[in-house]
């Protein structure tokens, strides 16, 4: 796109920004960008003014919306709803992360430490959140692994929720 004039670059950027506001997916915006750039390149080859042929960015976007039958009002409502629901969509991921953290801490303390060994007297204060072993380095390692697993589970659930919502 180095061969394009500043006005042409600005036209492309304004069209892409307007399409993004209408909720057009990024793949579709890339297709539109490719088509506009291709049209501008052909206009340069034929010696015509591409911006006059395309009209203004608003007219181009309006035509695109009409041709592709995009319901502007429902898109605007949908974006407002998704912004409101974005705070709620992270809640399942946080709850799952907490549950996974506690489950991994319980499993680690059962199988990898002597915290629940009835034959050994434990001289440390057991706490499921942060102290499951008497050995400080082993305890730190187990807590970090539990945190890593919990974060990974939360990220996976958040990703699945976003895909399910179609965002």
pLDDT tens for each residue of 7-17: 888 888 888 88
Residue 95 shares a structural domain with residue 119: yes
Number of domains in the chain: 2
77 within some domain: no
Contact between 37 and 1 under an 8 Å Cβ cutoff? The reply is: yes
79 within some domain: no
Report residues of the chain scoring pLDDT below 50.
Answer: 77, 81
**Which residue range(s) make up the domain with 25?**
6-70
Place of tokens 């390692």: 141
Residue 113 shares a structural domain with residue 43: no
Q: Which of 70, 97, 124 is the last residue of a domain?
A: 70
Say whether pTM exceeds 0.75. Answer: no
CA distance 122 to 160: 42
Q: How many helices (H) and strands (E) does the chain have?
A: 7, 0
* pLDDT cut 70: percent of the chain above it: 84
């Amino acid at each position: 796109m180095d061969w394009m004039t500043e006005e042409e670059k600005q036209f492309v950027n304004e069209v892409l920004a307007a399409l993004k506001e209408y909720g057009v997916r990024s793949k579709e915006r890339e297709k539109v960008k490719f088509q506009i750039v291709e049209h501008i390149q052909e206009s340069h080859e034929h010696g015509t003014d591409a911006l006059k042929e395309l009209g203004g960015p608003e007219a181009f976007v309006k035509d695109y919306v009409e041709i592709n039958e995009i319901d502007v009002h429902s898109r605007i409502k949908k974006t407002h709803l998704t912004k409101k629901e974005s705070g709620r969509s992270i809640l399942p991921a946080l709850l799952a992360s907490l549950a996974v953290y506690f489950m991994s801490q319980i499993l680690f303390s059962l199988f990898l430490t002597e915290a629940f060994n009835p034959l050994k007297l434990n001289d440390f204060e057991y706490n499921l959140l942060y102290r499951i072993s008497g050995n400080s380095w082993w305890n730190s390692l187990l807590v970090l692994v539990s945190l890593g697993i919990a974060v990974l589970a939360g990220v996976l659930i958040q990703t699945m929720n976003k895909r399910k919502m179609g965002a």
